[in-house]
Amino acid sequence: MKISSLTFSIRRWRTIIALVVILPVAACSSIRFGYNHADTLLIAWLDQYFDLEKSQKQLARDRIGALLAWHRQTQLQDYSALLDEIRAKLKGPVTPSEVTYFQEKIRQRLETLGERAAPEIAKLALTLKPSQIARVPRKLDEDNAEFREEYGYSHDPSNPDPQARAKLFIKRAEFWLGKLTEPQRAMIRQAVAARDNGNYTWADEREARQHQFLALLSKIERQKPQERVATDWVRGYFAELARQTDPQRQTFIETLRRADAELIAKLLDSAIPKQRTALDEKLHGYASDLASLVEENRQLGQRTSPLPPDEISVRPETKALQRLR
């Protein structure tokens, strides 16, 4: 597998709960495999983009290890419970509001992960050199050009290609459901073609998030703040992703989420028995992987001391409410 393909597998341990959003995933078939090798895969990805020095690789290995230990001990059981809830819901009709409900639960858990990952990201960011940060835009430009070409996101807003954009949704849907029927493909093409996003697209939003993060890394490198300050800046970046302050981008994101929820609900309700079986089998496989990881952690916990009390996470919904107070 290419590293670009591995990046999706790397994300899988973080996004296995993002099932109803139909996120892209790739090559490695087992969440358990990807999770247990996440440290190696993440370091390979970081090295490809930043050309890490030996000491930075060791730092990254240590901090990723600590993050994974926290995640394994405090999050996996909750993911498993959410996965069971999703599986139960998918056995019957699904409404757009129910899709939105699960999307919000997923975002809450990703916010929890981002908040916990912020100190680890800050530690590594404080060691980066200008030349290392300067490498990243070139790599991202290559990735973004490939993404735009494959999925029809032209830089020229007067020349949209909704058929190519529908290809991305179809690809994601077929990962979960298997081969779509022609009426289902037509439904997706029609829904995507009917969307009016103005001159702003998902490719633009994707690149805007990348530029924000690169600007943050450059700010940390220039100002060299204390670690707690850098951590707050990283948390601020994640908070901005969760609650966008730019009106144009926030409107775009909310509109896209509503449209996706409606289309996902229609697609799921149109699923034929063969597709429902394929979806349930895939979710069951993920549930089995999660159960195995939870059991591995239980056995590991019998041989090691538990995390300090301040490392034990409260439920994601509670943390989200605490941040709003």
Per-residue pLDDT tens for 257-292? 899 999 999 999 999 999 999 999 888 888 888 888
Determine the pLDDT at residue 118: 95
Determine the pLDDT at residue 244: 79
Residue 179 pLDDT greater than 50, yes or no: yes
Q: Are 74 and 310 in contact (CB under 8 A)?
A: no
Range with the lowest mean pLDDT among 120-124, 251-255, 292-296, 319-323? 319-323
Q: What is the mean pLDDT of residues 214-221?
A: 97
**Which whole-number Å values give the CA distances from 112 to 74, 100, 246, 312, 319, in the listed order?**
11, 18, 22, 12, 7
Greater pLDDT, 300 or 18: 300
Determine the pLDDT at residue 273: 94
Give the residue carrying structure tokens 């341990």: 13
| Cα distance between residue 281 and residue 279, in whole Å | 5
Determine the pLDDT at residue 161: 64
Greater pLDDT, 241 or 196: 241
Residue 45 pLDDT greater than 70, yes or no: yes
Residue 26 pLDDT greater than 60, yes or no: no
Q: Which of 14, 32, 24, 16 is nearest to 288 (CA)?
A: 32
Determine the pLDDT at residue 8: 37
**Token representation of residue 264:** 């996902």
Q: Which of 104, 39, 47 is nearest to 72 (CA)?
A: 39
pLDDT digits (tens, 9 = 90+) for 122-166: 999 999 999 999 999 999 999 999 888 877 776 665 555 667 778
Q: Are 323 and 235 in contact (CB under 8 A)?
A: no
Cα-Cα-Cα-Cα dihedral sign, residues 141, 147, 152, 153: negative
Residue 173 pLDDT greater than 50, yes or no: yes
Q: Which of 281, 245, 233, 244 is nearest to 118 (CA)?
A: 233
Task: Write the CB contacts of 74 (distance below 8 Å, at least 6 apart in sequence).
Answer: 307, 311, 312, 313
HEC assignment per residue over the chain: CCHHHHHHHHHHHHHCCCCCCCCCCCCCCCHHHHHHCHHHHHHHHHHHHHCCCHHHHHHHHHHHHHHHHHHHHHCHHHHHHHHHHHHHHCCCCCCHHHHHHHHHHHHHHHHHHHHHHHHHHHHHHCCCCHHHHHHHHHHHHHHHHHHHHHHCCCCCCCCCCHHHHHHHHHHHHHHHHCCCCHHHHHHHHHHHHHCCCCCCCHHHHHHHHHHHHHHHHHHHHHHCCCHHHHHHHHHHHHHHHHCCCCHHHHHHHHHHHHHHHHHHHHHHHCCCHHHHHHHHHHHHHHHHHHHHHHHHHHHHHCCCCCCCHHHCCCCHHHHHHHHHC
pLDDT digits (tens, 9 = 90+) for 65-78: 999 889 888 888 88
pLDDT band at 110 (very low <50, low <70, confident <90, very high): confident
Mean pLDDT of the chain: 80
Determine the pLDDT at residue 13: 33
